[in-house]
Amino acid sequence: MATQILGDLGADVIKFERPEGEWMRYWGILNGRSHGEMDSFLAFNRNKRSVGVDLKDAAVRDRILQLAVDADVVVENFRPGVMARLGLGYEDFRAVNPRIIYASSSGYGQSGPYVERPGQDLLIQALTGLMFLTGRQGDPPTALGVGITDQYTALHIVIAVLAALAHRAETGVGQKIEVDLFSCTVAMQQQELTFYLSHDYLPERSRDNLGAIWATAPFGIYETSDGHIAIAMTPCPVLAEALGMPALAQYETLEKMIESRAEIYEALSNHFRDDTSEHWIEVLLAHDIWCAPVHNYEQLLEDPQLAHNGLLWEVPVGDNEATFRTPASPMTFSETPVSVRLGVPRTGQHTAELFDEEQVTPAAS
């Protein structure tokens, strides 16, 4: 994801993968495939060129280091130590290009007690306490529905690379960057861990659907006659007026809304079941209450804001053989707009552009 974002922003991204293709070409969510590629691979590989080679081959390594003379950034996510053993570590690249920015992504960091462990989103959610925060009382630990730790870490890789590029523009000096899933996911829990560290108090999960163990009523998800709605931070007296529920007005302080979470949730739940999501959203928005309908994907695709923001792109596969729809870049620039310059490459589609035939061994061609 990190290198795709950089590609969307205009970087020329060269992806080195095995001659038979990297693992995500063969594994993905629900085994979904489109145009001969895994949907999970298509999702993260637009605006890249693919070179299919064997990194253990000395000629390949020499050619990569030759290309690095004119490169700006290297991004790698092998387990710690693998790139150095291949002769492609930071010191190897810095020897040919002192201005290089070298970003290493890993599960737990480049050293420490977990350095040899496999790092993966579900495992990181489990280890960092993130699963504990999600779900109701009595539920098992619950993972988020997307690879949130992967994607949050990807954003930090991009931020770190851009910061290093800015530093190099000022000083001419490159550097090594280290970003890992574990550290980023701990940092993701800024307010929750700050509270815990300050008070040494961990609240229990609510038996009601308040959205989080930390939530102050009426924050939560509520069933309607035809679906669900979400309500964020809202003073109960405001809700009392909007909904014609004067009993809610008694919870006029933050302390009372915290102490009476269960009662408030029960009263609101009974009330919202009497009409549709559309009706309640209209009523609540008329009083500027923070709320939204809970959408599934079918409903999301009908949402007018999605269309207005242009949040779906048609991206080509291979040599413009076909296209697939995918979420667009969420960034807008007045002078340097993001765009699809290259589609998702087939395995090794661009090897011949960057490697001479004699530089690729028969086994890796």
In whole angstroms, give the CA distance from residue 38 to residue 75: 22
Please check whether residues 342 and 232 belong to one and the same domain.
no
Asked if residue 199 belongs to a domain, the reply is no
In this prediction, residue 364 has a pLDDT band, given cuts at 50, 70 and 90, of very low
- Of 133-137, 218-222, 229-233, 328-332, the range with the lowest mean pLDDT is 133-137
Point out the domain boundary residue: 293, 322, 341: 293
Per-residue pLDDT reduced to its tens digit, 248-266: 999 999 999 988 988 999 9
Per-residue pLDDT reduced to its tens digit, 347-356: 999 999 999 8
Please check whether residues 322 and 288 belong to one and the same domain.
no
Q: What is the pTM of this model?
A: 0.91
Asked if residue 214 belongs to a domain, the reply is no
Point out the domain boundary residue: 243, 264, 293: 293
Please check whether residues 316 and 342 belong to one and the same domain.
yes
- Domains in the chain, number: 2
Structural domain harbouring 254: 228-293
Please check whether residues 318 and 250 belong to one and the same domain.
no
- Kindly report the backbone phi and psi dihedral angles of residue 154, in degrees, each rounded to the nearest multiple of 5, phi listed first: -55, -45
CATH number of the domain bearing residue 183 = 3.40.50.10540
Please check whether residues 19 and 145 belong to one and the same domain.
yes
Asked if residue 237 belongs to a domain, the reply is yes
Asked if residue 210 belongs to a domain, the reply is no
Please check whether residues 110 and 234 belong to one and the same domain.
no
Asked if residue 346 belongs to a domain, the reply is yes
- Where do we find the tokens 């815990």? 196
**Residues 6+ positions from 337 with CB-CB distance below 8 Å:** none
**Residues 6+ positions from 199 with CB-CB distance below 8 Å:** none
